[in-house]
Structure 1
Amino acid sequence: MKQGIHPEYTPLEVTCSCGNTFTTKSTMAKDKFHIEVCSNCHPFYTGKQKIVDSAGRVDKFQQKYGNMFKR
């Protein structure tokens, strides 16, 4: 590798809006970074994910295109 062309790889403290903090490494010039969602509070990772079906759109889709995917 060429010397002097790569950015500095320094520790970065990440803070989520839920209060969770963790340290990672990054090439950012900052030493602290704030995020809105992390793996401790995101519904996909916590298992609390829900499918919001407003006005029966999933059922309407199944009625219209459901037979197309069945064999």
Structure 2
Amino acid sequence: MPKEKIHPNYAPVRVVCACGNNFETRSTHKGDIHVEICSTCHPFFTGKQRLVDTAGRVERFRRKYAKADAK
């Protein structure tokens, strides 16, 4: 016998990317979903390199290993 009322309610939601692209899907999440990178602007799909560095991680990595190379 199948169990009743165990599945979550799916509702249509809009996914909005930082690049401006948006599309509609279904999710249990209520309201819009905001993402930083989607398939329209991701380097794997576009073939273009785009640096997404919100916390200075790349620069911190370069400084750390520049000191190691100097030794």
Compute the TM-score of the two structures, normalised by the length of structure 1.
0.62
Structure 1 ranges of 4+ moved more than 2 A: none
Q: Which amino acid aligns with 1:2?
A: K
Alignment of 1:30-45 (within 5 A): 30-45=30-45
Which AA in structure 2 matches 1:23? E
Q: CA deviation at 1:7?
A: 0.6
Aligned residues: 50
RMSD: 1.8
Task: State the 1:35 CA deviation.
Answer: 0.3
Q: Between Structure 1 and Structure 2, whose CA radius of gyration is higher?
A: 1
Unaligned runs of 5+ in 1: 55-71
